[in-house]
Amino acid sequence: MRMLGISKADWKGTVLPGLLALLAVFALQIAGFAPLTRAGQLIFDAYIRAQPREYEAAPVRVVDIDEESLRRYGQWPWPRTQIAELTRRLGEAGAVAIALDIVFAEPDRTSPPRIAQSLRGTAGSEAAVAALSRLPDNDAQLAAAWTEQPIVTGFFLTGDALRSQAMPKAGFAISGTPPGDAVPRFTNAVQPLPVLAEAATGNGSVTLAGDSDGIIRKAPLLFRQRDELLPSLSLEALRVAQRAGAILVKASDGSGSLGGGRGTSDVVSVKVGDFEVPTTESGALWMYYTRPRPDRVVPAWQILSGVLTPAQMTERFGGHITFVGAGAVGLRDLVSTPLQDRELGVMIHAQAAEQMILGKFLVRPDWAVGLERALVLLLGGALLLLLPRLGAAKGAGLGAVFAGGSLGGSWYAFSGQQFLLDPTYPVLAVLAVYLTQTGFSYYREEQQRRYIHRAFDRYLSPELVRRIAANPAQLELGGEEREMTVLFCDIRSFSRISEQFQPNQIIRLLISFLTPMCDVLLRRKATIDKFMGDAILAFWNAPLDDPDQYENAARAALEMVAELDELNRTMAGRGDEPWPSTLKIGIGLNAGPCCVGNMGSAQRLAYSLIGDTVNLASRIEGLTKFYGIPIAIGSTLRAKLPGFATVAVDLVRVVGRDAPEEIAALIGDEHIAASPEFQQFATSHNAMLAAYRELNFKIAAQWLDEIEQPAKDFGLGKVHALYRERVTKLELDPPGADWDGVFAATEK
């Protein structure tokens, strides 16, 4: 994973869930998950609505038995003689095939012999019965008329128990393995009367079955009843129009097109006469619908009434395949298509014939399934590996490119090549990977933020916690070396104070003291490391960078002293809370390199720091009591605070450290440093120190006399008292030549 730039944590936390999501989508694709298959169908519907097949004049017409035809020629069913007249006129006009989307399964009730039979036994009807019986049968007349016309009758296929077996008028030739269960199988047929079926030139199924949502997207060209292959009405009409013989069915293994997930017995194409039609594996034609075209349809009454002249009839029907269907209200064989919620069933057969004649096909190539599966793995896998490095925003852009490319490619394939490529699964794979990985990434980040809040809420300022939680990458857990500023704060004479109060009072006193002190520290962006009884350890510049760490530390120390003065004024007079008459603190500050991070054992960790800088800060804090100053700082930090009011106190060799350190007192901020009083005092104080370190003890004593009061005013009264004591002793007993002016501390 490192070779791919993915950390182990990212692999387990986000990539692995994304991979599982991708595999789940791939498994659904292999299984053909019905709801997602329907989503692909709806996309194809949208394509057809956006760009339907452009209508081109083709030798196909539809005769519609509409409302006006029923008004003129009576209620349906019409006498078979009327149907004979209709088909006769179409035949005379030169129709090359007359395909009837009507199943004449029952005898004509208006036939004279049928009427005679119904009148038998009725008193006084003997003459009428005899006369009617001598008249020709309507069904026989229709059959006689059909023997002279290219009629294609229709039959329905059902799943009922076998009562009738449909038989094709022409045989089938199979190239390859005979079609298997992919071709729709039925058990029963509802057929025209035998006399009519025998008279017809062709016989085809009018059965149309939509997809699971009822929409007809494919027109079946082949059916199977028991072991008999049967043609559709449109395919049979095309055969009859060409006077062709057997219909050639090509299976996968007989066409050289094996692949793409097809089985060896799946249908690849159907060839009838001069036309070869690509099909689905079940032998169906993907319908490429046009928008409604009124000139495609001729009402039946116009043919029967003679309103169309012979020339007009020849123009409209000569050399045409003519489909006859019923569009009148109550008779409508209505279906749903991607373009029309209510479309005549006969129109599906007519448009299927148009497509076959014009060669305008929608094709789902054999390689479509393989390509779609490859895209799922390629696009999903690419996003899977790139997302951890790109992040959510850029990953969303890349995912949008992948998804948009899939949709755009699918649309281009449809609009430019009439290929049906389903973008559903590639888009879903991209979406699933993105949502899963970003969801798990968000969960991990939330877990990390909660961990950060738990870990730092109590000893980091709220602002710092928010910054870390917003960008955890800023937090490098584990030891790292940083330039830092360290603060130790301790209550003076706390042991003596503790003798005055009960344990629970001591706790309340500490809370009253530590709470405002911590408020100051957190306000100044400090990290509070720990409390050690009455002592506080805090630091700056970790876990986040603080470019103002030195100033923040100095101001925090000054504000803590000021806050304590306020506490002494307000708390000492309260009788309900424990508080000594005056509480004093010592603060030691130092700056330098430290090692900071999570430290401890495998069972318990604490975010803390170690190093010589920390040890020296602790020793400096201990010296504040000795020198009687509230805030003492190391030389490194003093050099970082040129604008603050500081003065050197002493060169000290602290316990446990060989190198001496110049300790300074932090007296105030920039305003104090800029005051004439402080500047004059600092100059005199520095002159005193210089004389002292140069063994000019008499001059040093003079300076001490001169600035005695200013030293007290600036909190250095005890410091100057110590120097007066040293100067007096050294004047009486001068040191040797190796004297360096360093004070060796004997206590921590």
Q: Are residues 349 and 376 in the same domain?
A: no
Percent of the chain with pLDDT over 90: 64
Is 234 strand, coil or helix? helix
Q: Which residues contact 731 (CB under 8 A, 6 or more apart)?
A: 697, 698, 701
Which residues pair with residue 299 across a beta bridge? Answer: 64
85 — phi, psi (to 5°)? -65, -40
Q: Which residues contact 112 (CB under 8 A, 6 or more apart)?
A: 132, 133, 135, 136, 137, 138
pLDDT reading at 11 higher than 80? no
Q: How many domains does the chain have?
A: 4
pLDDT of residue 469: 62
pLDDT reading at 686 higher than 90? yes
pLDDT of residue 277: 95
Annotate 92-106 with DSSP letters as a single string.
HTT-SEEEESS---S
pLDDT of residue 457: 58
pLDDT of residue 350: 95
Q: Are residues 166 and 238 in the same domain?
A: yes
Q: How confident is the model at residue 669 (pLDDT cuts 50, 70, 90)?
A: very high
Interatomic CA distance for residues 188 and 201, integer angstroms: 22
Residue 197 within a domain: yes
Q: Are residues 565 and 698 in the same domain?
A: no
Residue 474 within a domain: no
Q: Are residues 687 and 569 in the same domain?
A: no
Mean pLDDT of the chain: 88
pLDDT of residue 454: 63
pLDDT reading at 602 higher than 70? no
Residue 79 within a domain: yes
Q: Are residues 417 and 543 in the same domain?
A: no
Picking from 389, 410, 441, the residue at the C-terminal end of a domain is: 441
Q: Which residues contact 545 (CB under 8 A, 6 or more apart)?
A: 474
Q: Are residues 83 and 38 in the same domain?
A: no
pLDDT of residue 601: 66
**598: domain range?**
481-641
137 — phi, psi (to 5°)? -75, 135
Residue 662 within a domain: no
Residue 448 within a domain: no
- The CATH number covering residue 560 comes to 3.30.70.1230
Is 342 strand, coil or helix? coil
Residue 428 within a domain: yes
Residue 650 within a domain: no
pLDDT of residue 448: 66
Interatomic CA distance for residues 722 and 366, integer angstroms: 100
Picking from 302, 333, 358, the residue at the C-terminal end of a domain is: 358
SS3 content of the chain, % helix, strand, coil (to 5): 50, 20, 30
For the stretch 303-343, pLDDT in tens is 999 999 999 999 999 999 999 998 876 666 788 999 988 88
For the stretch 396-448, pLDDT in tens is 899 999 999 999 999 999 999 999 999 999 999 999 998 988 887 777 767 76
pLDDT reading at 249 higher than 70? yes
Q: Are residues 635 and 580 in the same domain?
A: yes
Q: Are residues 70 and 44 in the same domain?
A: no
pLDDT of residue 437: 86
Picking from 411, 441, 471, the residue at the C-terminal end of a domain is: 441
The closest of 181, 210, 211, 184 to 32, measured between CA atoms, is 211
The closest of 738, 739, 741 to 648, measured between CA atoms, is 741
**Crossing angle of helices 368-417/34-50, nearest 10°?**
20
Interatomic CA distance for residues 632 and 517, integer angstroms: 17
For the stretch 85-124, pLDDT in tens is 999 999 999 999 999 999 999 998 888 877 777 767 675 6
Q: How confident is the model at residue 389 (pLDDT cuts 50, 70, 90)?
A: confident
- Return the minimum-mean-pLDDT range out of 123-132, 570-579, 587-596: 123-132
Interatomic CA distance for residues 23 and 33, integer angstroms: 14
Residue 466 within a domain: no
Residue with tokens 């500050």: 589
pLDDT reading at 7 higher than 60? no
pLDDT reading at 222 higher than 60? yes
Is 727 strand, coil or helix? helix
User: What ranges make up the beta strands (E) of 601-640?
Assistant: 605-610, 631-633
**Per-residue pLDDT averaged across 691-701, rounded?**
93
**Per-residue pLDDT averaged across 154-172, rounded?**
93
Q: Are residues 137 and 275 in the same domain?
A: yes
For the stretch 373-387, pLDDT in tens is 999 999 989 988 888
Contact 602, 594 (CB under 8 A): no
Q: Are residues 685 and 748 in the same domain?
A: yes
Q: Are residues 598 and 745 in the same domain?
A: no
Q: Where are the alpha helices (DSSP H) in 218-309?
A: 233-242, 300-304
Cα 478 to chain centroid, rounded = 34
Q: Are residues 397 and 433 in the same domain?
A: yes
Contact 636, 592 (CB under 8 A): yes
Beta carbons within 10 angstroms of residue 401's beta carbon: 14
pLDDT of residue 3: 39
